[in-house]
Structure 1
Amino acid sequence: MALGKGLRLPSITPTRLVLLFSLALVALYNLATWKVLGTLITLQGVQKLAFFASFGLFLWAAITLLLTLISFRWTLKPALTLVALLSACAAYFMNEYGITIDTVMIQNVFETNPGEATALFSGKLLAYVLLLGVLPAVLIWRWPVVYRPFFRGLLNKVLVIAACVLVIGASVGAFYSTYAPIFREEDKLTHFINPTNYIYAISKYTKQRLGIKKHFVVQAIGEDAVMSAKAAGREKKSLMVFVVGETARADHFSLNGYERETNPELSKLDILNFTQVHSCGTSTAVSVPCMFSMFPREDYSDKKGKTYEGLLDILQRAGVQVLWLDNNSDCKGTCLRVPNRDIAKNQPGPFCDGNNCLDEALLADLQGYIDSLKGNAIIVLHADGSHGPEYYERYPKDMERFKPICHTNQLGSCSRDELVNVYDNTILYTDHFLAKVIELLKRNQEHLDTSMLYVSDHGESLGENGLYLHAAPYALAPQAQTHVPMVMWFGNNTLAQLGIDRGCLQGKGSQPDLSHDNLFHSVLGLFEVRTSLYQPGLDIFHGCRPAMTAGQ
């Protein structure tokens, strides 16, 4: 069966083409599904083989049913081509990085900037696209398809769908006790099934976006927010630098007991370290807007994040000067109503190369802005941190302390030591960057009450159990993706000026139930912003200072 100019493939019906393509999807594009399935069942020997055969039939029938719905003359080949290309990409990322594909992952795809997307390109991805995407697409378009008259074709489709339903029923019925627990906890398997995982996720994401766009009115919150009379009248104003970290996992901070010295500079500074903090999500698209939202993780949704004001809006309304500086993808909607700017990748200086900037670029000319401040202020620095998979681009070469390193975005091709080494170098640079932030604040502590708050948006998997990067479904995510570092620093007399007992605050360093949920209320508390939204029970500083109540 050649594709040469003088040779033709035999004609085929739409049904047979769909059956063959579905079979290829089951056998070639679902290796991750088969791998996960093997971990979810306890059957052995012949029973295990029989169940796998049953699942193969089930999957084949389910995909055939789905594709039969679009197997009309004008839709069949374009649709199969698109499925082949998308399924090739999905297979690559699931096989190589161990990721699952759900609505959050699709959101990450659509909200990823070109620089982040480029970092994921590789020769292996190209091979997947060519072999599992382009080659099948060429075959599909070269294969002559014989279509029945419309009503006969429609009847045939009804019969095929009925047959698929029977096969699905028979497959599941034969092993119902095994299928039931697998699909009851759907995150464990369905997010791996290619192509239904991304088809469902894209449709759900699209529905969410259309719903938000249709009703897109940003609801004001905290309209009663005011600065306390004491804070407003204080001659020495407050300046907080809030550093939003990227992809840092708490268990790779030596401050938290990691055996390697990844925090040599912070360990010499008078910082407060919080060891048991958990993130709101496992991706930037979720965690960043969530940490600035009034909603706790259990009640947060992307729609709420986009249709309600957040912490920065309230601070600005209360008279706090706000600035967001970004060296990451973007602020995910958090900074849209406050002054903000991205770091120019082509700015002169030692920290940018035209494509990427090291995080120290965030501090360029920041002193001039601080000199212009007239009142209380917060500066948010959205750092690039430990953003993967090209970890080796996140730090200067003179900070490559741990060697040898993984020098590719093909993380599975690196040894465990190489991957951990290059990741730990990013943590080492984050330590250096935060020390630079503190150095800047120290230079201004005589005329401002200065403070720094650093917390990562989420963690990262480094190959444990075959899982790389992040964005796993939260309920199934390993601790590596949800346990994040958090560090605070305060200038001379800042805590005393604010009436906060340092010893009390230090005692909360190992408090086990801290999370991104605390940030909204803690920052409001630190700036002494009075609003009915404030919940003292979620304010880390509450109990270490005179009680703050709404309207006081």
Structure 2
Amino acid sequence: MLTRHLLPALTPNRLIMLFAAVLVAFYNFPAWGALASLAELTGLKRVLFEVSFAVFLWAAFCLLLLPFSFRPLLRPVISLVAVTGALAAYFMNAYGVAIDRVMMQNVMETNPGEVSALLSGKMVVYLLLGLVPATLAWLWPVRYQPFLHGLLTKLALAFSATLLLVLAVVSFYSTYAPLFREEDKLTHFINPTAYIYATAKVASEKLAIKRDTVIQPIGTDAKRVAQGQRKKLMIFVVGETARADHFALNGYPRPTNPELSQLDVLNFTQVHSCGTSTAVSVPCMFSMFPRKGYTDKKGKTYESLLDVLQRTGMKVLWLENNSDCKGVCRRVPNRDIPKTQPSPFCDGQRCLDEALLVGLEQYIDTLDEDTIIVLHSDGSHGPEYYDRYPPDQQVFAPVCHTNQLGSCSQQELVNVYDNTIHYTDHFLAQVVDLLKHNQQRLDTAMWYVSDHGESLGEKGVYLHAAPYSIAPEAQTHVPMVLWFGQGALADTGIDRGCLQAKENQADLSHDYVFHSLLGWFNVNTNLYQGGLDLFRTCRKGS
């Protein structure tokens, strides 16, 4: 009470104007940083432009908050924006990420394990700092005006803020125009508008999907054509957060692939992902839609490749050691790896990827039909890279042993990440070994491709989920490795030398997964596009 008596009473408009100034000054360091790299001005012009940008932000925030300046909403809304804005500032400052629709989709679809991996003392500090303006909003005495008078003052503030916003833009229109034309480069860093807009967009899309959700069947005409002497078994490994330029198979100078390099694998060096996050890439790679035509709504309202394969009578199994299958496995047999299973690969909270193989031999022994088994691995999921591999796979040291990646040296961060790739190499070798045990009875094959890549502090950016249009190559260029059991290619009439000639093909991407697997399992359907089948031109007689 004493504090409230010491503070001068403010009108709702003035409280909003004050809070808008706080947002400009303390919540938008990433936006100022993005602006510094985008606006090519110097000297006095530069100073005046930055002043105009501050005015622009302040006016925009006033307009954003003004509809909530009435008694029941004013303090709760300011408090909510103060706290959520502080969390957004933490992630943008700590990891250099932008906040767009895809990022907010990731937030909404994350699980408790992923959330716990991001918790830190630094996040708590940001949260406490966000509580300062939130608390002041409740302590500061507010003098509400009679309705009509208050409405007129709100209209006056709206007019003034709009005028200032227009003047700020007009005064440097030639500089602002290209900045906002390429919105990914600036607006996704403006706090709080970036996350508010992105959250609203994702929420509206999810509501529309929920309201209109009728799963559209695809490939109802699909039929398998008998070919070869034996049944086929494909283990398709969905990798996590592996970047192609850290695979020794792709020319990386460190020995991150010691086991795969000793196997007779096909390594495709120029593959690009459908998205920069699991939430986009996983459903997209199993979708009939190519990257440029894919949307979250299409992914959730149309059947996937696995539905088509299952419809032909194939056996399909999805094993999960990541967050979840993002809807892809909903209509096929699927199982999460229990974190408490009695195996050397689980500790009660998480499992190493080798847990995906526990008991799998017994399942394979029962197979009497063409089968695809999808293993969704934990791979190189950050920021707790040190938790993704066992001690005997730590071959590069010293390592970054915290989720505060910016506090580690670049070498420590690269070391710990390379250890995850080294373990992925070991895991894939174990998959191949399992398939070798069954290659006399089945035409066995393994296909590994990562869902997306990862930034390791280059230009201050960490993790992934950058807007695809501006995402660095590290987040979109992914490794892809195929292995075939003895006689599998010959039995299906595919020339290995022809496939080897495609290892450096420049246009390969996740778009090839859907049609190549249809081709591999000899599925005839009107959905099939031969131009996106990796194997088609390598079949004898094609």
- State the TM-score bracket (shorter-chain normalisation): over 0.9
Unaligned runs of 5+ in 1: none
Shift of 1:11: 1.3
Contact 2:229 2:491 in 1 (8 A): no
Partner of 2:31: 33
State which of 351, 359, 362 in structure 1 corresponds to 2:353.
Answer: 359
Once residues 331 and 547 of structure 1 are traced to their aligned partners in structure 2, the CA distance between those partners, rounded to angstroms, is: 37
Partner of 1:500: 494
Unaligned runs of 5+ in 2: none
Partner of 1:263: 257
Once residues 104 and 5 of structure 1 are traced to their aligned partners in structure 2, the CA distance between those partners, rounded to angstroms, is: 43
Partner of 2:59: 61
After superposition, residues 224-235 of structure 1 pair within 5 angstroms as: 224-228=221-225, 230-231=226-227, 234-235=228-229
State which of 158, 167, 184 in structure 1 corresponds to 2:164.
Answer: 167
Partner of 1:511: 505
Asked whether 1:341 is paired with 2:338, we answer no
Asked whether 1:274 is paired with 2:273, we answer no
Once residues 325 and 450 of structure 1 are traced to their aligned partners in structure 2, the CA distance between those partners, rounded to angstroms, is: 18
Q: Secondary structure at the match of 1:345?
A: coil
Query: Residues 6, 76 of structure 1: CA spacing in aligned structure 2 closer, same or farther, 3 A cutoff?
Result: closer
Shift of 1:29: 0.3
Give the letter aligned to residue 385 of structure 2. Y
Asked whether 1:191 is paired with 2:185, we answer no
> Deviation digits for residues 447-495 of structure 1, max 9, x if unmatched?
1110000000000000001100000000100100000000000000000
State which of 377, 392, 401 in structure 1 corresponds to 2:386.
Answer: 392
Shift of 1:9: 2.2
Aligned residues: 542
Once residues 434 and 540 of structure 2 are traced to their aligned partners in structure 1, the CA distance between those partners, rounded to angstroms, is: 29
Shift of 1:8: 4.0
Once residues 506 and 532 of structure 2 are traced to their aligned partners in structure 1, the CA distance between those partners, rounded to angstroms, is: 13
Once residues 449 and 386 of structure 1 are traced to their aligned partners in structure 2, the CA distance between those partners, rounded to angstroms, is: 30
Q: Secondary structure at the match of 1:389?
A: coil
Normalising by structure 1, report the TM-score.
0.97
Shift of 1:155: 1.3
State which of 446, 450, 456 in structure 1 corresponds to 2:450.
Answer: 456
State which of 194, 197, 200 in structure 1 corresponds to 2:197.
Answer: 200
Give the letter aligned to residue 341 of structure 2. Q
Partner of 2:280: 286
State which of 308, 320, 323 in structure 1 corresponds to 2:314.
Answer: 320
> Deviation digits for residues 138-186 of structure 1, max 9, x if unmatched?
1111111111111211111111000001000111111111111111111
Shift of 1:394: 0.2
Shift of 1:10: 2.1
Partner of 2:176: 179
Query: Residues 190, 439 of structure 1: CA spacing in aligned structure 2 closer, same or farther, 3 A cutoff?
Result: same
Contact 2:89 2:191 in 1 (8 A): yes
Q: Secondary structure at the match of 2:59?
A: helix
Asked whether 1:382 is paired with 2:376, we answer yes
Once residues 275 and 83 of structure 1 are traced to their aligned partners in structure 2, the CA distance between those partners, rounded to angstroms, is: 45
Once residues 173 and 211 of structure 2 are traced to their aligned partners in structure 1, the CA distance between those partners, rounded to angstroms, is: 42
State which of 204, 216, 231 in structure 2 corresponds to 1:237.
Answer: 231
State which of 89, 97, 113 in structure 1 corresponds to 2:87.
Answer: 89
Once residues 42 and 541 of structure 2 are traced to their aligned partners in structure 1, the CA distance between those partners, rounded to angstroms, is: 62
Percent identity between matched residues is 65
Shift of 1:237: 0.7
Give the letter aligned to residue 172 of structure 1. V
State which of 400, 403, 411 in structure 2 corresponds to 1:406.
Answer: 400
Contact 2:4 2:140 in 1 (8 A): no
Q: Secondary structure at the match of 1:475?
A: helix
Once residues 149 and 346 of structure 1 are traced to their aligned partners in structure 2, the CA distance between those partners, rounded to angstroms, is: 62
Q: Secondary structure at the match of 2:31?
A: helix
Q: Secondary structure at the match of 2:469?
A: coil
Once residues 306 and 478 of structure 1 are traced to their aligned partners in structure 2, the CA distance between those partners, rounded to angstroms, is: 27
Once residues 6 and 364 of structure 1 are traced to their aligned partners in structure 2, the CA distance between those partners, rounded to angstroms, is: 63
Query: Residues 459, 547 of structure 1: CA spacing in aligned structure 2 closer, same or farther, 3 A cutoff?
Result: farther
Once residues 59 and 122 of structure 1 are traced to their aligned partners in structure 2, the CA distance between those partners, rounded to angstroms, is: 30
After superposition, residues 475-494 of structure 1 pair within 5 angstroms as: 475-494=469-488
Contact 2:281 2:451 in 1 (8 A): yes
State which of 482, 497, 516 in structure 2 corresponds to 1:522.
Answer: 516
Asked whether 1:304 is paired with 2:298, we answer yes
Once residues 142 and 325 of structure 1 are traced to their aligned partners in structure 2, the CA distance between those partners, rounded to angstroms, is: 52
Once residues 310 and 459 of structure 1 are traced to their aligned partners in structure 2, the CA distance between those partners, rounded to angstroms, is: 23
State which of 73, 76, 95 in structure 1 corresponds to 2:74.
Answer: 76
Give the letter aligned to residue 61 of structure 2. I
Shift of 1:287: 0.1
Once residues 384 and 493 of structure 1 are traced to their aligned partners in structure 2, the CA distance between those partners, rounded to angstroms, is: 31
Once residues 54 and 536 of structure 1 are traced to their aligned partners in structure 2, the CA distance between those partners, rounded to angstroms, is: 54
Moved over 3 A (4+): 3-8
Give the letter aligned to residue 319 of structure 1. G
> Deviation digits for residues 179-222 of structure 1, max 9, x if unmatched?
11111111100000000001110111111111111110000000
State which of 125, 132, 140 in structure 2 corresponds to 1:143.
Answer: 140
Partner of 1:21: 19
Q: Secondary structure at the match of 1:239?
A: strand
State which of 34, 46, 49 in structure 1 corresponds to 2:47.
Answer: 49
Shift of 1:101: 0.4
Q: CA RMSD in A?
A: 1.0
Asked whether 1:217 is paired with 2:211, we answer no
Once residues 5 and 193 of structure 1 are traced to their aligned partners in structure 2, the CA distance between those partners, rounded to angstroms, is: 32
Shift of 1:79: 0.5
Asked whether 1:254 is paired with 2:248, we answer yes
Q: Secondary structure at the match of 1:515?
A: coil
> Deviation digits for residues 273-317 of structure 1, max 9, x if unmatched?
000000000000000000000000000000000000010000000
Q: Secondary structure at the match of 2:282?
A: helix
Partner of 1:545: 539
Query: Residues 507, 67 of structure 1: CA spacing in aligned structure 2 closer, same or farther, 3 A cutoff?
Result: same
Once residues 180 and 160 of structure 2 are traced to their aligned partners in structure 1, the CA distance between those partners, rounded to angstroms, is: 22
State which of 107, 112, 126 in structure 2 corresponds to 1:114.
Answer: 112
Q: Secondary structure at the match of 1:338?
A: coil
Q: Secondary structure at the match of 1:543?
A: helix
Query: Residues 5, 144 of structure 1: CA spacing in aligned structure 2 closer, same or farther, 3 A cutoff?
Result: closer
Once residues 512 and 541 of structure 2 are traced to their aligned partners in structure 1, the CA distance between those partners, rounded to angstroms, is: 16
Query: Residues 522, 7 of structure 1: CA spacing in aligned structure 2 closer, same or farther, 3 A cutoff?
Result: same
Query: Residues 269, 47 of structure 1: CA spacing in aligned structure 2 closer, same or farther, 3 A cutoff?
Result: same
Give the letter aligned to residue 249 of structure 2. L
> Deviation digits for residues 75-121 of structure 1, max 9, x if unmatched?
00000111001100000000110100011000000000100011000
Give the letter aligned to residue 97 of structure 2. I
Once residues 455 and 498 of structure 2 are traced to their aligned partners in structure 1, the CA distance between those partners, rounded to angstroms, is: 34
Contact 2:443 2:485 in 1 (8 A): yes
Shift of 1:137: 1.2
Once residues 512 and 84 of structure 1 are traced to their aligned partners in structure 2, the CA distance between those partners, rounded to angstroms, is: 46
Partner of 2:128: 130
Q: Secondary structure at the match of 1:324?
A: strand
Once residues 486 and 355 of structure 1 are traced to their aligned partners in structure 2, the CA distance between those partners, rounded to angstroms, is: 29
